[in-house]
Amino acid sequence: RLRRLLNMSEPVASDAALAILVVRVHGENVGIVVDDFREGMEVILKPMEGVLGSLRQYAGTALLGDGSVMLVINLKELI
């Protein structure tokens, strides 16, 4: 579960269907349980600098159209 990889608390269990993100990491398919899917988007990835630059679990940041900043996860480092 992505929550476990990011050291986040688990939500209360429910009978709802699981959302699974399937990605290819190091040549193997891996399924990661996620809370929900949002719309797909293309972003320009900007590397993080300073103290945050050493956080290998994040690939960088992206500036969204509404001005908010999105952290981009580096799945190769998390798995």
- CATH number for the domain spanning 39: value is 2.30.30.40
What is the Cα–Cα distance from 71 to 56, expressed in whole angstroms? Answer: 12
15 band by pLDDT with thresholds 50, 70 and 90: low
Whether pLDDT at 57 is above 80: yes
What is the Cα–Cα distance from 28 to 10, expressed in whole angstroms? Answer: 26
**Global confidence as pTM:** 0.62
What is the Cα–Cα distance from 51 to 38, expressed in whole angstroms? Answer: 29
Give the domain extent around 10: 2-78
When divided into structural domains, the chain yields a total of 1
Structure tokens at 24: 């290819």
Q: Which comes out higher in pLDDT, residue 18 or 16?
A: 18
Q: Which comes out higher in pLDDT, residue 10 or 65?
A: 65
Mean pLDDT of 68-75: 89
pLDDT value at position 18? 80
